[in-house]
Amino acid sequence: MPPATSVSMAGLRQTVPATWTRFACAQCRRTLATTPAVASGHNRWSKIRHEKGAADLKKTALRTGFTKNLTLYSQLYGPDPNMNAQLASVMQNAKKAGVPKAVIEAAIARGQGKSADGARLDNVTYEIMMPPSVALIVDLETESKARALQDLNSIIRRKGGNMTSTKFFFTHRGRVILAPAEKEGEETPEVTVDDILEDAIEAGAEDVESDEEGQIVVWTAPLQTNAVVTAVEEDRFKAKLSVISADTIWAYNEETQAPLGDSSGGQSLVEQRKLLELVAAFRAYADVRAIYSNVAQGEASDEIWQQLAQDLDW
């Protein structure tokens, strides 16, 4: 007779699987010490999230462009698209791009200094400083100054900023941007800075220059842009130039720029992210009309800078 084999309880537990493990998946049965984890799909989700984020940013930038033009043409030529060809054209393109009807109507009303409900809008300017030395100015048009102040204050505190005077980082200027008028099937004669200089100065311009895109930029005193627009619309340039924008802006002073990621300034990646999130939150706030900053790219990554730059007004 063969000798009896002794089996310990510990050995039995190792060789006979517990009842629950017969129905558990391999991921749940694995031991923490020896079994490698199965890939979770994290990289794939990160890629999807990144692509979706990029698409959302592009969509937001497109919508912002439409609303600015709707407000501009409503302000310059009136809110009735039947009497305002430029406004009618932008409305049509905005609808094709999927901009909601409510957003279009609100932008047109804003050009008349009103909300979509017809209430009068007040202009408000807020000054913000973000660590270590990034200055911001936010222009709003709102029905309620108290509500806007409370909402923006909450956003600023969460991102580590504070409301303080920053206007000395900027110069308040009027700016009109002109581009060649586009007519289907026709070539528009080129208009240079020299061609328009005399007429612009007579209309109150302080300076005239060309930008990187070949557009003509006319600088004026604050709130004097309409005189330049009227001169262009009424004189010999009417058929040659179109108004791209006409507004009063806060242009940063070159000597006060704050480079992002500047190691000498002690700015961290966390602070860059907070600035990015702050500006994005401002841009998403319905009453915000424009956001200006003295920030420069510096040593910040291209990804962070591109996201930030598209939410700022320059």
Region 10-14: mean pLDDT is 48
Which run of H or of E encompasses 52?
Answer: helix 42-77
pLDDT value of position 294: 95
More confident residue, 21 or 259: 259
**Residue 196 belongs to a domain with what CATH number?**
3.30.70.980
Q: Is residue 116 part of a domain?
A: yes
Q: Are residues 142 and 89 in the same domain?
A: no
Q: Are residues 60 and 203 in the same domain?
A: no
The answer, yes or no, to whether residue 213 has pLDDT greater than 80, is yes
Residues 6+ apart with CB under 8 A from 173: 206, 219, 220, 221, 222, 248, 249, 251
Residues 6+ apart with CB under 8 A from 211: 177, 217
The answer, yes or no, to whether residue 166 has pLDDT greater than 80, is yes
Q: Are residues 244 and 127 in the same domain?
A: yes
Q: Is residue 14 part of a domain?
A: no
The answer, yes or no, to whether residue 263 has pLDDT greater than 70, is no
pLDDT value of position 51: 57
Region 149-159: mean pLDDT is 93
The answer, yes or no, to whether residue 29 has pLDDT greater than 80, is no
Domain end call among 80, 98, 120: 120
Q: Token match 């580590």: residue?
A: 160
With contact defined as beta carbons under 8 Å apart, do 134 and 161 qualify?
A: no
* CB environment 80-119: b (16+ within 10 A), e (fewer): ebeebebbeebbeebeeeebeeebbebbbbbbeebbeeee
pLDDT value of position 12: 45
Region 146-166: mean pLDDT is 93
pLDDT value of position 192: 85
Distance CA 152, CA 187 (A): 48
pLDDT value of position 158: 92
More confident residue, 56 or 78: 78
Residues 6+ apart with CB under 8 A from 137: 125, 126, 127, 128, 166, 167, 170, 250, 291, 292, 293
Q: Are residues 165 and 70 in the same domain?
A: no
Across 54-63, 180-189, 229-238, the highest mean pLDDT is recorded for 229-238
Residues 6+ apart with CB under 8 A from 163: 126, 127, 128, 153, 156
Q: Are residues 32 and 102 in the same domain?
A: yes
Distance CA 139, CA 291 (A): 7
Span 86-120, pLDDT tens digits: 788 888 888 888 888 888 888 888 888 887 777 88
With contact defined as beta carbons under 8 Å apart, do 172 and 248 qualify?
A: yes
Domain end call among 120, 154, 180: 120
Q: Token match 């924008």: residue?
A: 245
pLDDT value of position 265: 52
Q: Is residue 168 part of a domain?
A: yes
Name the pairing type of β-strands 216-220 and 205-210. antiparallel
Distance CA 271, CA 47 (A): 24
Q: Is residue 272 part of a domain?
A: yes
Amino acid symbol at 305: W
Distance CA 119, CA 301 (A): 43
Q: Are residues 238 and 100 in the same domain?
A: no
The parent domain of residue 205 ranges over: 121-311
Across the chain, mean pLDDT equals 79
The answer, yes or no, to whether residue 38 has pLDDT greater than 50, is no
Q: Is residue 9 part of a domain?
A: no
- The answer to which of 59-63, 75-79, 215-219, 308-312 has the lowest mean pLDDT is 59-63
Q: Are residues 134 and 81 in the same domain?
A: no
The answer, yes or no, to whether residue 205 has pLDDT greater than 50, is yes
More confident residue, 193 or 51: 193
Q: Are residues 167 and 272 in the same domain?
A: yes
Q: How many domains does the chain have?
A: 2
pLDDT value of position 25: 54
